[in-house]
Amino acid sequence: MSDIAILKEMINETATVALENDRYGKNKVTLREPPPANYDVTIYGMPDDDEVIIINADKFKSPDTVFKGNRGECKRADFVIVTDTGKKKVILCIEMKAGKGGSHTEIIEQLKGAQCFVAYCREIGQSFWKEQNFLKDYECRFVSIKNIKIPKKITRIDPNHDSLSNIKILKKSGSSFQFNDLVQGQR
């Protein structure tokens, strides 16, 4: 069973985001922040449904009943996209901000929280699905999308965003991206 199939068994459908077809019959996904934030980002060129799962990490309840949260350990990014196309295995952690909001430190904490969520899923797959290589050999990518509602062109894209010290920061209006642009590593 593929890692994507296991994740689809593991994660409630209410915590996932479904793929849609764009006007050309290709896959896209719309990542929505509910009110009061009330904005969205569309990612075009998504892999096929059996190659990807889009998780709304905000549905994962804050662990503040156990942890104090003094160091940001109760935070998490908005979305996690896990994909295995057969050619590339990528885990994409995405934090979205409508405006300039969120300090760099806060965004790092949110992305770290998403990374911890993925590590928790990895442990669940290894322990309960008995898949010792579950979510191994995946490249992690960290993306912060800011200024979603502010009319701007892309002002900065850092192609090396495989660690939390190298976050890909996107500032753009229109709120649409190509999946391959988000997962590209160092060029």
Identify the CA nearest to 172 among candidates 143, 144, 146, 137: 146
Q: What is the pLDDT of residue 17?
A: 98
Question: Residue 152: its pLDDT value, please?
Answer: 43
Q: What is the pLDDT of residue 162?
A: 56
- Say what the pLDDT of residue 8 is: 98
Among 129, 128, 126, 156, CA closest to 143: 156
**For residue 156, what pLDDT is reported?**
43
Q: What is the mean pLDDT of each run of 10 residues along the chain (187 residues)?
A: 97 97 94 85 96 94 89 93 94 86 86 94 98 95 77 44 59 71 67
Beta bridge partners of 95: 144
How far apart CA 77 and CA 141 sit, in angstroms, is: 12
138: region left, alpha or beta (phi > 0 left; psi from -120 to 50 alpha): beta
Q: What is the pLDDT of residue 181?
A: 83
> What is the residue whose two structure tokens read 């290894």?
126
Hey, which bits of 60-171 come out as E strands? 79-84, 89-96, 139-146, 168-171
Tell whether pTM > 0.85: yes
Separation CA 157–CA 102 (nearest Å): 18
- Give the CA diameter of the chain: 48
State the virtual CA torsion across 41, 94, 82, 45 in degrees, nearest 10. Answer: 30
